[in-house]
Chains A and B, each alone.
Chain A
Amino acid sequence: MKTEMLAMILAGGRGTRLLDLTNKVAKPAVYYGGKYRIVDFPLSNAANSGIDVIGVLTQYESIQLNAYVSQGARWGLEGRDKGVFVLPPREKDNTTFGVYKGTADAIYQNIDFMDMYDPEYVLILSGDHIYKMNYDKMLDFHKEQNADVTIAGLEVTFEEAKRFGIMNTDANDRIVEFEEKPAHPKNNLASMGIYIFTYKALKKALTLDAANEKSSHDFGKNIIPYMLNNNKKIVAYRFKGYWKDVGTIDSLWQANMDLLDGDNGLNLADETWKIYTEDIPTTPQVIGPKAKIKRSYINQGCVIDGTIENSVLFRDCVVRKGAKVIDSVLFPEVVVEEGAVVKNCIIAEGLVIPKEAEVGDRSEIKLIAKKGQVQKND
């Protein structure tokens, strides 16, 4: 078996700032956009880019995520010498069982997997970013540049630059310096955490890094600086378009709201670059005689007879007569009973907002993730 480029998706993180949403699921499995899970984006991008072999490295609360991504047919990734492979940490000969100690260590521990496919190039992706990108074009660029590493970069404001890994480049976009979260950024080209490595160079760097006890085994902190010091050719691939790292409840809410701007750059309706996801049989959405819907994104199976404004509703939500859902995101199977009002909220899967209850206000985005968190308003 030989594949030119395989993809490895880092999907082990918890996403602590997503609070109760990630108690039982890892961040890549969190819902987004009325229908999707975040990890659908890198998986669909990879499938649409013609990548056949994808490893997904999972660790934190991975039961749901493993079960979800292992069904490669969802993204059209089933077939001969094709597939999505779930790669959790495991016990190996002559070592004790160890979890993935960092992004680089996670890839290092799966060298055997990559060797099976004898790749020329390896694409490293993060499982928790929302964007559309053709990795095949990025590979063309990598080959043209004869680079050892190509890192996708996005221009951000200098204020935002403080939160990212920043690539300082020369006139030809060759990276001369890589700074993790600089206090005084010299450039505004942020790393999107998308790397194409020439496999030989990657394997060597990972092996050396693994032997270094002082290393924190991280791509941004260790592998890239090490390769820069050794005069490896690292180039930036400039990306223009929608890209979002949803680390917090606020940014998850905002990313959903972005969809309500007709032209947000993500264009989920684009037939030539579909984002694939789980197919759950439901009825069409049922819009009742009392429904009032404005500027919203509503999935199949919903039954709406109330008011919906500026909101994103996942499948099988029920909003009853006289209920109002405003500036909110309802995950699958949420029920908003008669007369209840939901404002500025993200409501987790399957919760019921009781009759006449009022949830949320103008001041902040509220996450409702537990049963009984909203009491009946008497």
Chain B
Amino acid sequence: MINALGIVNFPNNAVKIRGMSDYRTIAAMSFLGRYRIIDFVLSNMVNSGITNIEVMVREQPRSLVEHLGSGTQYNINPKHGGIQMLYPDHQAVSDAYYHDMFLMNENLEVFRGSKRKYVVIAQSYMVCSIDFGDVIKAHEESGADITCVYSESKRGKVSFIGCKMPKIDKYGRIHEINNNVGYDNKINVLTETYVMKRELFLDLIEKSYEISPLFNFIDIIKHHLGTLNVRGYKYEGYLSCVNTLEEYYRINMELLNPEVFAQLFKKEWPIYTKTNDSPPAFYSSTGHAKNCLIANGCIIEGDLQNCILGRGVVVEKGCVIKNALLLPNTYIGPYSHVEYAILDKHARVENQKDIIGSKDKLIYIKRRDRV
């Protein structure tokens, strides 16, 4: 166990996944068939020994509340820790004022009431496997006021657009933080994970409105770069940021590559999620799958290539499905043809229909829609 309160932050409101965001927050989106995106940050916290976790929810809480429950699926025992969702008590003046710092202010009492020495603030839409214990250790050793986790990316022109790029000097100190607008491929990008003493965190919240009520959390950090010792901690493992529909698709697909998969999933670092008690996947004598990730409860009677299937997906006889994401409980009727598509939950493709997108033009089918 480590002496830290875990806080799961949400992406700022400019980040929307076309189509899918209409139904749920990014944190609650289905990922790799059997997970929700938030499972990664929560499992990282639990595996690191953090047992008290606050999940900040900006909007659309239903899907998230349903998924998180009491947190026992993350191995959190409510008597010795817990997982709690934080909402605002008041409405913000307008959308521009409704950001993470606003929600932190609204829940100041929760952070005051904690007995933990540190806070670990991490982002729900960043997919990685990181030991926060290592970050806290580095934080203690460096004597930093705030430690920001960052990682090196080679795909800054297409990925991590809008994410924060720190400028770090040779002593590891951060002097400047800028937005990634896609100029360079090789960039340093913040995972938006921060470690600091809880007292300092309270102080930042309390003074934030004096600086500006329009400043979100990262703006506040930037504001203090000159006065506080803000340092970088380099994370070396797998990292991706689910911030557009194209990235959502690409990240799911890149994990079909066993080498990439092995960077994210490690035996001693389990990723927890809510069980659905579905039976194993069933392949009939006409079913066929190649290069796929498949969740339990699926019934496969058609032909699958480079696909990711969520729980309870049914693929009927004679179908050909390639390069597609089939979210939980989608149905593909007999002799249909689907390529380069994302089918949201419970979508149905009835008999002998074709949905053919291309690499550059993905087709998204909305939740519960029938084709």
**Are B293 and A281 in contact, CB atoms less than 8 angstroms apart?**
no
* B258 within 8 Å of A (CB atoms): yes
**Are A35 and B287 in contact, CB atoms less than 8 angstroms apart?**
no
**Are B258 and A313 in contact, CB atoms less than 8 angstroms apart?**
no
- Mark the stretch among A140-148, A296-304, A369-377 that contacts chain B: A296-304
**Are A287 and B289 in contact, CB atoms less than 8 angstroms apart?**
yes
**Are A287 and B284 in contact, CB atoms less than 8 angstroms apart?**
no
Q: Give the secondary structure class of B's interface.
A: loop
Contact of A287 among B265, B275, B292 (CB under 8 A): B292
* B23 within 8 Å of A (CB atoms): no
**CB-defined contacts of B297 to chain A, threshold 8 Å:** 269
Contact digits for A277-296, partner B, Cβ 8 Å, 1 yes 0 no: 10101111111111111111
* A268 within 8 Å of B (CB atoms): yes
Complex Cα distance, B312 from A279, in Å, reads 17
* A73 within 8 Å of B (CB atoms): yes
**Are B287 and A285 in contact, CB atoms less than 8 angstroms apart?**
no
- Mark the stretch among B137-145, B223-231, B266-274 that contacts chain A: B266-274
**Are A269 and B287 in contact, CB atoms less than 8 angstroms apart?**
no
Q: Which positions 242-276 of chain A face chain B at CB distance < 8 Å?
A: 259-260, 262, 268-269, 274-276
The chain B residue sitting closest to A292, CB to CB, is B288
The chain A residue sitting closest to B294, CB to CB, is A285
- Say yes or no: A286-B278 contact (C-beta < 8 A), given A293-B283, A294-B283, A294-B285: no
Question: 16 A-B contacts, Cβ less than 8 Å apart?
Answer: A35-B296, A259-B282, A274-B277, A279-B277, A282-B270, A284-B33, A284-B295, A286-B261, A287-B293, A287-B304, A288-B290, A293-B288, A296-B282, A297-B282, A298-B281, A300-B34
**CB-defined contacts of A276 to chain B, threshold 8 Å:** 277
Complex Cα distance, B163 from A347, in Å, reads 49
- Say yes or no: A34-B283 contact (C-beta < 8 A), given A283-B271, A289-B291: no
**Are B279 and A293 in contact, CB atoms less than 8 angstroms apart?**
no
Q: Of residues B261, B275, B278, B279, which shows the largest number of chain A Cβ atoms within 10 Å of its Cβ? A: B279
**Are B287 and A294 in contact, CB atoms less than 8 angstroms apart?**
yes
The chain A residue sitting closest to B312, CB to CB, is A269
Chain A, interface residues (CB within 8 Å), range: 35 or more
The chain B residue sitting closest to A285, CB to CB, is B294
Given contact pairs A284-B32, A290-B290, a sample of 13 additional A-B residue pairs in the complex whose CB atoms are under 8 Å apart: A34-B279, A35-B280, A260-B282, A268-B279, A269-B282, A275-B279, A283-B265, A284-B308, A286-B258, A288-B290, A292-B288, A295-B284, A308-B283
**Are A299 and B295 in contact, CB atoms less than 8 angstroms apart?**
no
**CB-defined contacts of A262 to chain B, threshold 8 Å:** 282, 284
**CB-defined contacts of B34 to chain A, threshold 8 Å:** 283-284, 300
**CB-defined contacts of A33 to chain B, threshold 8 Å:** 279-280
User: Which residues of B approach A to under 8 Å, CB–CB?
Assistant: 32-34, 72-73, 258, 261, 265, 270-273, 275, 277-285, 287-297, 299, 304, 308, 312
Complex Cα distance, B304 from A297, in Å, reads 16
**Are A297 and B289 in contact, CB atoms less than 8 angstroms apart?**
no
A180 to chain B, nearest CB (A): 35
- Say yes or no: A299-B294 contact (C-beta < 8 A), given A281-B273, A287-B289, A291-B289: no
A41 to chain B, nearest CB (A): 13
Contact of A285 among B73, B258, B271, B293 (CB under 8 A): B293
**CB-defined contacts of A299 to chain B, threshold 8 Å:** 280-281, 296
**Are A295 and B265 in contact, CB atoms less than 8 angstroms apart?**
no
Complex Cα distance, B73 from A285, in Å, reads 20
- Say yes or no: A284-B293 contact (C-beta < 8 A), given A292-B288, A293-B288, A300-B34: yes
**Are A287 and B296 in contact, CB atoms less than 8 angstroms apart?**
no
The chain B residue sitting closest to A78, CB to CB, is B72
A294 to chain B, nearest CB (A): 5
Contact digits for A307-318, partner B, Cβ 8 Å, 1 yes 0 no: 010001100000
The chain B residue sitting closest to A311, CB to CB, is B283
**CB-defined contacts of A297 to chain B, threshold 8 Å:** 279-283
- Say yes or no: A279-B275 contact (C-beta < 8 A), given A269-B297, A299-B296: yes
Complex Cα distance, B306 from A288, in Å, reads 9
**Are A279 and B73 in contact, CB atoms less than 8 angstroms apart?**
yes
**Nearest 7 CB-CB pairs, A to B?**
A34-B280, A268-B279, A299-B280, A279-B275, A281-B270, A287-B292, A284-B293
**Are B289 and A275 in contact, CB atoms less than 8 angstroms apart?**
no
Complex Cα distance, B308 from A299, in Å, reads 15
The chain B residue sitting closest to A277, CB to CB, is B277
**Are B273 and A287 in contact, CB atoms less than 8 angstroms apart?**
no
**Are A293 and B296 in contact, CB atoms less than 8 angstroms apart?**
no
**Are A295 and B283 in contact, CB atoms less than 8 angstroms apart?**
yes
Complex Cα distance, B302 from A321, in Å, reads 22
Complex Cα distance, B290 from A295, in Å, reads 15
B180 to chain A, nearest CB (A): 30
